[in-house]
Amino acid sequence: MSIGKEPDGMEIGRQKKEIRQEMRRRLSALPPEEKSREMREMERRLEGLACYFYARRVMFYVGVGFEINTLPVLVRALAAKKEVFVPYCLVAERRLLVSALYDLGELKAGYYGLLEPKSECLRPLDPALLEVVILPGLAFDLAGNRLGRGGGYYDRLLSEIGPQTVLLALAFDFQVYDRLPVESHDRPVHRIITPSRTINCRSLPPGWI
In 3-state terms, what secondary structure has residue 166? strand
Local structure of residue 191 (DSSP, 8 states) = E
Mean pLDDT of 161-179: 97
Question: Which pLDDT does position 182 carry in this prediction?
Answer: 82
d(CA 46, CA 152): 25
Question: Which pLDDT does position 164 carry in this prediction?
Answer: 96
Q: Categorize the per-residue pLDDT at 9 as very low, low, confident or very high, splitting at 50, 70 and 90.
A: low
* pLDDT of 2 strictly over 80: no
Question: Which pLDDT does position 185 carry in this prediction?
Answer: 67
Q: Domains in the chain, please, with CATH?
A: 10-200 (3.40.50.10420)
Label each residue of 81-142 as H, E or C.
Answer: CCEEEEEEEEHHHCEEEEEECCCHHHEEECHHHCEEECHHHCCECCHHHCCEEEECCCEEEC
For 119-163, write each residue's pLDDT tens digit: 999 999 999 999 999 999 999 999 999 999 888 899 999 999 999
Sign for the pseudo-dihedral over CA of 75, 76, 78, 82? negative
d(CA 70, CA 43): 8
Question: Which pLDDT does position 140 carry in this prediction?
Answer: 98
Report the predicted TM-score, pTM, of the whole model to 2 decimal places: 0.93
Let me know the angle formed at the C-alpha of 25 by 18 and 19, rounded to the nearest 5 degrees. 20
For 65-119, write each residue's pLDDT tens digit: 899 999 999 999 999 999 999 999 999 999 999 999 999 999 999 887 889 999 9
Question: Which pLDDT does position 5 carry in this prediction?
Answer: 52
Contact at 8 Å (CB) between 121 and 110? no
